[in-house]
Structure 1
Amino acid sequence: MASIRKEIDIGVPPEQLWDALRDVGALHTRLVKGFVTDCKLEPDGAARTVTFANGMVVREVIVTVSDEDHRVVWSAAGGRLSHHNASAQVFGEGAHGSRLVWIADLRPDSMAPAVAAMIEQGLDAMKRTVEAR
């Protein structure tokens, strides 16, 4: 199983970044504007349908939203992935900044480069979106 770990520093307090990350139905407006163009949270909040700027549409199951750990975990399967599980966690970084750690585990391993590239795009969009607020 391929495992990808990416980190980024974001110039906002961790509480501000966490508030946007934990709003799992508002990716397209609060967290990764432009990278995700639409996000529809199911009525029970257990899953969301995410539309990416590249046209890909994915149903993601929300596994955990932990206020204690400032961590969101989600999973998805389908298309060319037989398994995908990911987490994003917010940490304080310095006096007024944050560090976000995004980890994804997936199969098949051959999809790791494409998924890693999407994570990089997502992190860039996150930095732009959150710092602009």
Structure 2
Amino acid sequence: MATIHRETLIDTAPDSAWAAIRDWGSVHRRLAPGFVTDTRVDGDVRVVTFEDGTVVHELVVSLDDETRRIAYTLVGGSFSTVHHHASMQVFAEPDGRARFAWTTDVRPADLAGPIAAMVDRGIEVIRRTLADAT
């Protein structure tokens, strides 16, 4: 098992960042355009297509507006994992900006490298997109 954890400060209000993150079906428009090229929702599962053609099927585990946290797991697609669980959460900084945290647990551990590369690319696109939206 491997854990990937990334955080970034975003020049936007926490509620604005959370509104985009919790919009489960609009990742390709509101959260990570270009990095994510398409998002389709079927019940609790979303099918996400990335810029490199990777497709993942993600199941919502929980969505909590009070703590501004969403958790999800992979249930299909291009990555074959034994275990995958990820969460995204938005925190309010004292200066009014948003702090965005993204944590992913994955097994087998040898998938940590490719998934970490996607998280690193994704978090930069998310930071830029949400800051530009204000």
Classify the TM-score, shorter chain: over 0.9
Contact 1:60–1:74 (8 Å) recurs in 2: yes
Shift of 1:61: 0.3
Counterpart of 1:87 in structure 2 is 87
Between the aligned partners of 2:127 and 2:102, the Cα distance in structure 1 is 13
Structure 1 unaligned blocks of 5 or more: none
Deviation per CA, 1:44-81: give whole Å up to 9, x if none: 3x110000111001110011110011001000044332
Between the aligned partners of 2:101 and 2:128, the Cα distance in structure 1 is 16
Between the aligned partners of 1:50 and 1:86, the Cα distance in structure 2 is 14
Shift of 1:107: 0.7
Shift of 1:115: 0.8
Residue 53 of structure 1: which of 47, 51, 54 is its match?
51
Between the aligned partners of 2:124 and 2:34, the Cα distance in structure 1 is 10
Counterpart of 2:69 in structure 1 is 71
What is the Cα-based RMSD across aligned positions, in Å? 1.1
Counterpart of 1:4 in structure 2 is 4
In the alignment, residue 69 of structure 1 is paired with which amino acid?
T
Percent of counterpart pairs with the same letter?
40
Deviation per CA, 1:17-39: give whole Å up to 9, x if none: 00000101100000111111000
In the alignment, residue 18 of structure 1 is paired with which amino acid?
W
Between the aligned partners of 1:3 and 1:90, the Cα distance in structure 2 is 19
The alignment covers a number of residue pairs equal to: 131
SS in 1 for 2:114: helix
Contact 2:59–2:75 (8 Å) recurs in 1: no
